[in-house]
Amino acid sequence: METPLVAPKRVDFQVDPNSYRHLRLKIDGEIATVEIDIDEAGGIKEGYELKMNSYDLGVDIELYDLTQRLRFTHPSVKVVVITSAKEKIFCAGANIKMLAQSSHQWKVNFCKFTNETRLGIEDATTNSSQVYIAALNGVAAGGGYELALACEKILLVDDRSSAVSLPEIPLLGVLPGTGGLTRVVDKRFVRRDLADYFATKPEGVGGKKALAMKLVDGLVPKASFSDEVVKYASQLASTLQKNAPQIGIELNPLKKVVDHDLISYDYVKVLINRELRYAEINVALPDGISAPKSIEIAKGQGENFYMLSLTRQLDDAILELRTNEPEIGTWVIRGKGDPLEIVKFDELLLANRDDWFANEVIHYQKRTLKRFDVTSRSLITLIEGGNLLSGSLFEIALASDRIYQLIDSEDDSSESHFMLSKMNFGPLPMGNGLTRLESRFYGDVTSIEKVEEMIGKLIDGDLALSLGLVTFAPDDIDYDDEVRLCLEERASFNPDALTGMEANYRFVGPETLETKIFSRLSAWQNWIFYRPNASGEEGALRRYGSGLRGNFNRERI
């Protein structure tokens, strides 16, 4: 019997290109090349080797960091080519031994983070004119082919042996967990019956058959592979429009202090209450920080531009809590600062959306807010005195499962107000394509119109409650008790049931490729990871490589 791998005390999501062990980035004008060259001995945990360019969370952390740097540090890049530095193998996907020996929560959070990074690749293609090409110089299996599917174009070496495959079902008893099933039919428009054949054929499909089935976009002779890929990338870059040459900004490591019950950054502080199993996420705008007068000044501030810096800190805090604090089931969000100043930051960014820097900050805010939406934690926002959560930061409240706003019985006009901005009405959509207000008031256009009339106005508890923008607005006599009871109640419930309830309520309306990945696909994979057919002692995932087939319970459930 294999002993489950124990995660390190903390996983740090802060890396930089100088510390990469698995990826190499080369910039040549408008074209960037990412070479996958995974260090077999470089796993983030012990107990497995990353053979055949297989990956684990540590590899994905580098890939996420790299995609962020391409957008902020190298904004002039138009085409990103992902290929392999190894012969005859592009990527073998997620390391099977790592999956077999990891805890359930580790597997699920690993897949979630991987999905978010790959959706970020597609977001860069759509919104940053950084188009990704997968140049498969060898076999792309499982998660390796799923990485290719996140790219806009897929080129496969035509050498009679290289193929693309999704072998998880026949070999491991699990699903392709990072979007493969969804993208094959929803993005590449592979016919359902052919997709069924493909996903149950462990050796995969190569050459002309892969091209005919729409699994790849082109075949490249082995003898001229590198030259043909460069030529293809150059031709594609020539068709993409970007503004004048752009100078990017550096993303230096965040200033972060981590203690047993504290994670602290410049503008974000996380305090952990282990007794009631909640984390208090405090967001601050210190006195003296104000919105710059122009986007050029904002660019001059670079990574220190408040909205970028704050977003980076929130992004890291979410990943820290998800991965390193799985038993902290409730997140309580508070904000302290001038709400009008946040609205001014929003106005600056929206007025300059044609500028690459403003565009990237807005889309980074959007991606970070989406992490809140798909996080399996109860989210509770508290709007109290000197509240900062306005405009784009009010989206955190709208992502929450409940919002409590304090009403001061002394009627102090400086207490417990927030503001809306145009950021709340389009630029920061959820994965379902709707704004959080459209999701909140789904099917109720009148309420949205009333709320939109409040842009730029201070909203107190009574007004917020009447507009439906908060869940409860207790006065200062009852406020503390109501919040306390909510947190105690949350801590007493079955966390699995809470996760299922929250995931169902957060996404309404249309289903998109993104919501399919995070709801339908992830939910089934989560369930399959629990089942003995895959993860049990005699399951296919645990027996892979032993010469024994999985011993399946044959009931269809």
Q: Is 378 in contact with 423 (CB distance < 8 Å)?
A: no
Closest CA to 361 of 414, 295, 417, 425: 295
- What one-character-per-residue DSSP string does 494-514 give? -HHHHHHHHHHHH--S---HH
Enter the tokens of residue 442: 């789904």
Q: How many residues does the chain have?
A: 557
**Residue 418: C-alpha distances to residues 221, 340, 480 (Å):** 60, 8, 20
Enter the tokens of residue 436: 């959080």
Please name the amino acid found at residue 131: V
Identify the residue whose tokens are 């607005």.
Answer: 473
Closest CA to 177 of 140, 128, 127, 143: 143
Closest CA to 334 of 383, 372, 393: 383
d(CA 62, CA 79): 19
Verify whether residue 168 is a known catalytic residue. Answer: yes
Chain-centre distance for alpha carbon 376: 13
d(CA 354, CA 9): 43
Q: What is the pLDDT of residue 241?
A: 85
d(CA 207, CA 222): 12
pLDDT tens, residue order, the chain (557 aa): 445 554 457 899 999 999 999 999 999 999 999 999 999 999 999 999 999 999 999 999 999 999 999 999 999 999 999 999 999 999 999 999 999 999 989 999 999 999 999 999 999 999 999 999 999 999 999 999 999 999 999 999 999 899 999 999 999 999 998 999 999 999 999 999 999 999 999 999 999 999 999 999 999 999 999 999 999 999 999 999 876 667 999 999 999 999 989 999 999 999 999 999 999 999 999 999 999 999 999 999 999 999 999 999 999 999 999 999 999 999 999 999 999 999 999 999 999 999 999 999 999 999 999 999 999 999 999 999 889 999 999 999 999 999 999 997 665 544 689 999 999 999 999 999 999 999 999 999 999 999 999 999 999 999 999 999 999 999 999 999 999 999 999 999 999 999 989 988 999 999 999 999 988 888 888 888 888 998 899 999 889 888 889 999 998 88
Q: What is the pLDDT of residue 7?
A: 45
**Residue from 30, 62, 152, 168 carrying the catalytic annotation:** 168
Q: What is the pLDDT of residue 292?
A: 98
The b-or-e profile of 407-421 (16+ CB within 10 A means b, else e) is: bbeeeeeebbbbbbb
CA atoms within 13 A on the CB side of 59: 31
Chain-centre distance for alpha carbon 372: 9
Q: Is 391 in contact with 346 (CB distance < 8 Å)?
A: yes
d(CA 203, CA 184): 17
Residues β-bridged to residue 131: 79
Q: What is the pLDDT of residue 411?
A: 55
Q: Is 530 in contact with 537 (CB distance < 8 Å)?
A: no
Enter the tokens of residue 291: 């919105």
Please name the amino acid found at residue 401: D
Domains and CATH numbers, the chain: 18-238 (3.90.226.10), 267-499 (3.90.226.10), 502-543 (no CATH)
Listed in sequence order, the residues at least 6 apart from 34 whose beta carbon sits closer than 8 Å to its beta carbon are 23, 24, 25, 66, 80, 81, 82, 83
Please name the amino acid found at residue 86: K
Three-state secondary structure call for residue 494: coil
d(CA 233, CA 32): 9
SS (H, E, C) 323-366: HHCCCCCEEEEEEECCHHHHHHHHHHHHHCCCCHHHHHHHHHHH
d(CA 316, CA 314): 5
Please name the amino acid found at residue 486: C
d(CA 447, CA 222): 60
**Residue from 62, 122, 146, 395 carrying the catalytic annotation:** 146
Closest CA to 540 of 197, 95, 100, 55: 100
Listed in sequence order, the residues at least 6 apart from 399 whose beta carbon sits closer than 8 Å to its beta carbon are 369, 372, 373, 379, 436, 506
Q: What is the pLDDT of residue 521?
A: 83
CB atoms closer than 10 angstroms to residue 452: 13
Phi and psi at residue 35, in whole multiples of 5°?
-100, 125
Q: What is the pLDDT of residue 245?
A: 65
d(CA 534, CA 107): 13
Phi and psi at residue 356, in whole multiples of 5°?
-60, -40
Sign of the torsion angle spanned by Cα atoms 498, 428, 298, 238: positive
The b-or-e profile of 519-535 (16+ CB within 10 A means b, else e) is: bebbeebbebbebebbb
Three-state secondary structure call for residue 431: coil
Please name the amino acid found at residue 56: D
Sign of the torsion angle spanned by Cα atoms 301, 19, 132, 180: negative
**Residue 89: C-alpha distances to residues 137, 219, 302, 511, 524 (Å):** 7, 16, 39, 35, 29
Bridge-based pairing state of the strands 262-264 and 268-273: antiparallel
Q: What is the pLDDT of residue 20?
A: 96
**Residue 454: C-alpha distances to residues 17, 328, 418 (Å):** 45, 35, 10
Q: What is the pLDDT of residue 409?
A: 63
Question: pTM score, two decimals?
Answer: 0.95
Identify the residue whose tokens are 């060259």.
Answer: 37
